[in-house]
Amino acid sequence: MVSNLSEREKSVMYGIYKRLPITVDYAQGCRIYDVEGKPYLDFLSGIAVNTLGHSHPKIQNAIEHQIRRYMHLSNYFYQEPQIALAEKLVALSGLSKVYFSNSGAESFEGALKLAAKWGSVRGKKNMYAFSGGFHGRTYGSLSMMDKPLYKEGMGPFLDNKFVLPFNDCEALRAAIDEKTCAVALECIQGEGGISMVTQEFIDELTALRQKYDFLIIADEIQGGVGRTGKFMSYMHYKFTPDIVTLAKGIGGGLPLGAILFHERVADVWVRGNHGTTFGGNAVSCAAGLVVLNEVEEWAESNAAAIGEYLQLRLGELAHNFPRDIVEIRGKGLMVGIVMSYDAQEFVDALLQEKVICNVTAGSVVRVLPPLIIGKQDVDEFIEALTKLLTNRETQSKP
């Protein structure tokens, strides 16, 4: 089956993605089933998208209901699902206004444009981001990233955009001045290997904001919407960003993104400055409202509680296999298992045990399960990891 699909795909599609060798039939909760009925434990969630797992009945009902009313009207119209979702986002974040987009890169791109407009009347042009950060594949986003694979041969990139070392207070102090317009960061870097910003670095950043007056953009595209056990990953720290970007998990499986604005920047754009055809699509917003309701009611606190259990069990594993596991890091259900070797082979072997994860930053197994998992799912995951690590240990014995 897979070979059939792979042959067909190869002849007509650009081979830009590495596909997993599974022919998916359907997906339910935290499991993906292949055409032979074999279940795979999905601890990747469509890369932090399926917040409530697959085929959640409330999301399906909301989508069905919305589809029968209307699917797309365009942003010429007031739309109840958009407004209801924006009200919820404002209530849960404490921020002041919302703009809807379709994806993460688009949200981040919009945030840069907004910051640029804010800076343009203040003589501020310079924008900074951090090494290991990931903000999308558009020119704006790429200009704020430093991974060569994403950029080589595709320049020139935007002017006045700089990448500084992550968590380096001295480098931050040396770079930031009155010409600084914005600083963007993921408080927990997803692609960068589930690396967390330190409170010390945030304190330095906010002190510099006080001194030089610039905007802080929190990219919550991967770490937002309850995944880390708080509504946004920045809420684990003592500060408030001026702009927040969202996407991925907010649509519960449908394409949706958002920019959230602190009141400081809520009036920067005037009508026509920015816009989109599909952004805030009514069906995506209807799904998003279910996601936020469930996140508020229980999924976020479940992520915190099960996340603690996951870290506890992984900590035991690290203790039992110190030659393989270097560190466990992250918050809630955004967790990295740092291996002492390239993690790809390990993740491939995990797939043979019917567990889906992926690799970031070379040696980090990225664990992003849906927020609905229970302790028994964690136990199943740990059992598969234990089996693999025990096998490796046995094989390495002379």
Ligand X SMILES: Cc1ncc(COP(=O)(O)O)c(C=O)c1O
Using CB under 6 A as the criterion, which residues of the chain lie in contact with ligand X when the complex forms? 103-105, 108, 134-136, 186, 190-191, 219, 221-222, 247
Under 8 Å CB-to-CB from 272, ≥6 apart: which residues?
none
- Of the candidates 285, 302, 299, which has an alpha carbon nearest to the alpha carbon of residue 87? 285
Residue 132 beta carbon to ligand X: minimum distance, rounded to whole angstroms: 11
Residue 317 beta carbon to ligand X: minimum distance, rounded to whole angstroms: 26
Residue 102 per-residue DSSP state: S
Q: Indicate the residue type of 111.
A: A
- Of the candidates 356, 355, 361, which has an alpha carbon nearest to the alpha carbon of residue 341? 361
Q: What's the distance, CA 198 to chain centroid? A: 19
- The backbone torsions φ and ψ at residue 244, rounded to the nearest 5 degrees and listed phi first, read -125, 135
With respect to ligand X, which residue has the nearer C-beta, 43 or 134? Answer: 134
With respect to ligand X, which residue has the nearer C-beta, 103 or 195? Answer: 103
Check if the beta carbon of residue 243 is closer than 8 Å to that of residue 218.
Answer: yes
Tell me the H-state helices in the chain: 2-12, 45-48, 57-69, 80-93, 104-120, 139-143, 148-151, 169-175, 199-212, 282-294, 300-320, 344-352, 375-396
With respect to ligand X, which residue has the nearer C-beta, 184 or 385? Answer: 184
Residue with tokens 């935007």: 158
Residue 369 beta carbon to ligand X: minimum distance, rounded to whole angstroms: 16
Residue 248 beta carbon to ligand X: minimum distance, rounded to whole angstroms: 6
With respect to ligand X, which residue has the nearer C-beta, 49 or 385? Answer: 49
CA dist., res. 235 & res. 206, Å (int): 14
Residue 56 per-residue DSSP state: -
With respect to ligand X, which residue has the nearer C-beta, 219 or 300? Answer: 219
With respect to ligand X, which residue has the nearer C-beta, 247 or 357? Answer: 247
With respect to ligand X, which residue has the nearer C-beta, 190 or 279? Answer: 190
CA dist., res. 302 & res. 298, Å (int): 6
Q: What angle do CA 313, 317, 323 make, to 5 degrees?
A: 160
Dihedral of alpha carbons 194, 366, 250, 52, sign: negative
With respect to ligand X, which residue has the nearer C-beta, 247 or 339? Answer: 247
Residue 187 beta carbon to ligand X: minimum distance, rounded to whole angstroms: 10
Residue 11 beta carbon to ligand X: minimum distance, rounded to whole angstroms: 26
Residue 192 beta carbon to ligand X: minimum distance, rounded to whole angstroms: 9
- Closest-by-Cβ residue to ligand X is 104
Residue 357 beta carbon to ligand X: minimum distance, rounded to whole angstroms: 15
